[in-house]
Amino acid sequence: MRFNSLVYFGFLAVVVAVLWLLPVRARKAWLLVASCVFYGSWHAPFLGLLLTAATLNHLGARWIVAATDRHRRGTVVIAANLLLLAVFKYADWALSGVSGISTWLGGPAVPLPGWVLPLGISFYLFECISYTVDLVRKRETLHPFFDFLLFIAYFPKLIAGPILRAKEFLPQLAKHRPPDAASVRTALRELLIGLFLKVVIADGLSQGVDAAFSKSPASLGVLDVWVMAIGFGLQIYFDFSSYSRMAIGSARLCGIELVENFNHPYVARSPADFWARWHMSLSRWIRDYVFYPLVGRKTSLGAMVRAALGSMLLCGLWHGAGWGYVLWGLAHGLLVAGYHVMTFSGRGRPPVKSAVRSLIGAVVTFAGVSLAWLLFRAPSAADGFALLGRALSPLGHLNRALSGTFYLEVFLVTLAVWSAPWVSGRLESGWSRLQTRPRRLAFAAGLEGLAWGLLFAVSLVYLRGQTAFIYFQF
């Protein structure tokens, strides 16, 4: 039951309608049942694993708060979560490496368990870990079991986030009330825009991107490589941000606010700024639970560099079991570490505001992030390095192997992405001014409704079955 399907929209309509017809005491139970139905529709055994993991984590939480010294017990619970994640996500990859070494030395091949990666496991186990850490730090309290279970299993954010903290979700259950008209309007807008971005933009780019990465690196010219790198960066951005929009819209109709996950990342002025805008819920998680502890109390340049490299390597591994993800994380670690090296001496001083400096920073960051996507998307690490070599040797490979249509698509979408902050700002200010002019407001509201209807109609035309979201594999 993917977000980009009419089945999901029917499911959501039933969930929302029944939710607000039920008495207050029954609403949490209904949301939990709906979440179990949603997740179980993918693969019933996955639901059993989810409920087991949540139950064991709540038992672990009770065990932690009963102790005088919470750190030792917290470490055990965190290690158990990491072990569960490692078994399902990394066992095949690690054992395939051991098997390769064994056969190279003349020994037998090591059999692989062939685990199927449960959907959303990286997301909900990170939420369990954050809850455990916050309990150990005494920044969180023990919550009732079914409230905690709903926090972990809540269907809009279960498969691919946003990754929440308990304090961002559970207090809303105590004040759970129907959304007002403005919230409903915003939620429907997020759902429609998200659907459009997925089925029209992201899926539209995917055909050219897949064709480009299926070619041999030796057949591609330097411009081809840059365009396919930017093209994939745009595809994964619209694919993932569309899911986040639809998750936020779905949750809002159910009276729950989720955190934002994207804030125009491709206009970021530095690598650190990029990670403050891209997959923001994961970035905050890594910052608070990995980066800050690695830096320690005494901030030094060496600590900042080590923390940046370690955090981004973990970020790469979180995305998947493969050397491409590790190298992608390392590339971002080097970008962030390099940024800290260049700016460390100026820490604490007011930033120098310069349009030229901002533009250069945005272009350099966009180029670095785009090149890193080659390592992420390439079929193998060898292909990733080969593509990087092509991209960084412009005078040696001037041929063109990709279609002019793909070039045009990437150019137009890039232009739209770079202009989006200015356009959205103008639209918001224009709408605010209309609030004081009722006659014009009614006319603008009619136009807006017509626009949303047109957007939905176009999305239905482009709906190609139930294409998967890229982040479902993580």
Task: Answer whether residue 472 shows pLDDT above 80.
Answer: no
Indicate whether 283 belongs to any domain.
no
Q: 215 and 156 in one domain?
A: no
> Does residue 281 lie within any of the structural domains?
no
pLDDT in tens, 14-62: 999 999 999 999 999 999 999 999 999 988 889 999 999 999 999 999 9
Domain identity same for 208 and 161: no
- Per-residue pLDDT of 192-216, as tens digits, reads 999 999 999 999 999 999 999 999 9
Is residue 32 in a domain?
yes
Q: In terms of domains, do 155 and 43 share one?
A: yes
pLDDT tens, position by position, 160-179 = 989 999 999 999 998 899 99
- Read off the pLDDT of residues 134-149 as tens digits, 9 standing for 90 and up: 999 999 999 999 999 9
Q: Are residues 156 and 53 part of one domain?
A: yes
In a domain, 199, yes or no: yes
Same domain, 208 and 154: no
Does 427 have pLDDT greater than 80?
Answer: no
Domain membership of residue 349 (yes or no) is: no
- Structure confidence at residue 436 (pLDDT): 61
Please tell me whether residues 172 and 201 are part of one structural domain. Answer: no
Q: Do 169 and 199 share a structural domain?
A: no
Mean per-residue pLDDT of the chain: 90
* Residue 441 pLDDT greater than 80, yes or no: no
Which of residues 176, 203, 219 is at a domain's end? 176
Percent of the chain, pLDDT > 70? 93
pLDDT at 396 over 90: no
Residue entry with tokens 């994961």: 282
Q: According to the model, what pLDDT value does residue 466 have?
A: 59
Among 392, 414, 436, the domain boundary falls at 414
Query: Residue 349 pLDDT more than 70?
Result: no
Reported as a pLDDT band with limits 50, 70 and 90, residue 437 is low
pLDDT of residue 280: 96
Q: Average pLDDT of 236-257?
A: 96
Residue range of the domain that includes 235: 183-262+355-414
Question: Which range, of 11-15, 302-306, 333-337, 394-398, averages the lowest pLDDT?
Answer: 394-398
- For the annotated catalytic residues, the residue numbers are 319
Q: Which residues make Cβ contacts (< 8 Å) with residue 377, sequence separation at least 6?
A: 209, 213, 232, 324
One domain, residues 187 and 168: no
Specify whether 39 is located in the same domain as 126: yes
Q: For residues 151 and 127, is the Cβ–Cβ distance under 8 A? A: yes
For residues 20 and 397, the model is more confident at 20
Considering the domain architecture, whether residues 65 and 211 belong to the same structural domain is answered as no
Confidence band (pLDDT; 50, 70, 90) for 393?
Answer: confident
Pair 158, 107 in one domain: yes
Structure tokens at 141: 């309290």
For 84-124, how does the pLDDT look when each residue is reduced to its tens digit (9 = 90+)?
999 999 888 888 888 788 887 788 887 877 778 899 999 99
The residue out of 147, 176, 205 marking a domain boundary is 176
Q: In terms of domains, do 139 and 21 share one?
A: yes
Q: Are 314 and 328 in contact (CB under 8 A)?
A: no
Q: Looking at residue 433, what is its pLDDT?
A: 63
pLDDT band at 347 (very low <50, low <70, confident <90, very high): low
Chain segment 267-286, per-residue pLDDT in tens: 999 999 999 999 999 999 99
Is 291 contained in some domain?
no
pLDDT at 397 over 80: no
Q: Quote the tokens at residue 76.
A: 């055990």
Domain count, the chain: 2
pLDDT, position 81: 96
